[in-house]
Amino acid sequence: MVKILTDRDVEALVSVDELLSAVSEAFRALSLGEVLMPPRSRIGVSGAGDILLMPCLAPSLKVFSLKIVSVYPGNLEKGLPTTNAVVVAVDPENGIPRLVAEARALTGLRTAAATALSVKHLARSDSKNLGIIGCGYQARWQLLITSQVMRPQRVYAFDMYRDRAEKFAEEMGGRIGGKVELCYTPEELVKSCDIIITATTSKTPVVRKEWVRPGTHISAIGAYTPEMAEIDPSLLASSKVVVDSLAAAKEEAGEIIQAVKAGLMRWEDVYAEIGEIIAGRKPGRLSWEEVTVFKTVGTAAQDAAVASILLSKASDK
């Protein structure tokens, strides 16, 4: 019998510790070639958005998963969610579908886990101030999960829609038990923070090189097409750049693609995949002064990680 899980079920079933452990294993296995993950298929719906198909077989997590996700930026103006998704989880031992889960929360959780792991391995241990650019649905998960890893003293937020930023600050201040301070410009936020998360669909950089202090860590999670770019290409070229998947980045990481095309850097200049650092094949941060950038476009291996948790919990019931 196939179990059906809602986003609320997913939130209730997945703990932070389980999440970080499973996603860490997914990244490790991905970088060591232990998962089968075909390239993500993207179908553009003219004038509306994108529909993505993301399959993955993860033997160490004992799951095959397929996520169908849509990203429709114009939904914001219609009062609808920008991102919607479902995941199908299949038992790889017998090929039987075991569950179908709404995946909006799942996507939020696994993407936030990627940022949290990048903070763990790349940010300075004395980082105190956390900033988030883009205050949509994903930003909520980013703050909730990342704050479990770094325990920020101050949190800053910026969104081009002021009312959305205000709503985010009010809601999340209560959820993290501390004040979320709003900034009037991205520059103000960047100059105030040790760790910066960008969660936008911008096609022009929202973080400029001249704003960034030495020792800053940036997690860029929003851009997922060659046309999108949240980070100044010149900043990327002068930073230690880590990706979730190099193969996926070459197809979808707009900031890096644009920096390479401009002759500012080469693909060989990408320092590592996060899984290589997790596996101990490469060190993370090497100095207090270096600027680190984690660029994630999202991988099906991360979806499989959360699906594996859900499968184990569903089996327990």
Active site residues: 67
> How is residue 201 written in tokens?
């669909």
Assign residue 280 a region (left: φ > 0; alpha: ψ between -120 and 50; beta: otherwise): left
Does an H or E element contain 307, and which? helix 300-316
Q: What angle do CA 302, 171, 217 make, to 5 degrees?
A: 50
Sheet strands side by side (includes 217-220): 180-182, 154-158, 129-133, 195-198, 217-220, 292-295, 240-243, 272-273
> CA-CA distance, 58 to 193, in Å (whole number)?
36
Going from the C-alpha of 300 to that of each of 33, 151, 211, 242, 306, the distances in angstroms are 14, 28, 33, 18, 10
DSSP 87-151: EEEEETTTTEEEEEEE-HHHHHHHHHHHHHHHHHHHS-TT--EEEEE--SHHHHHHHHHHHHHH-
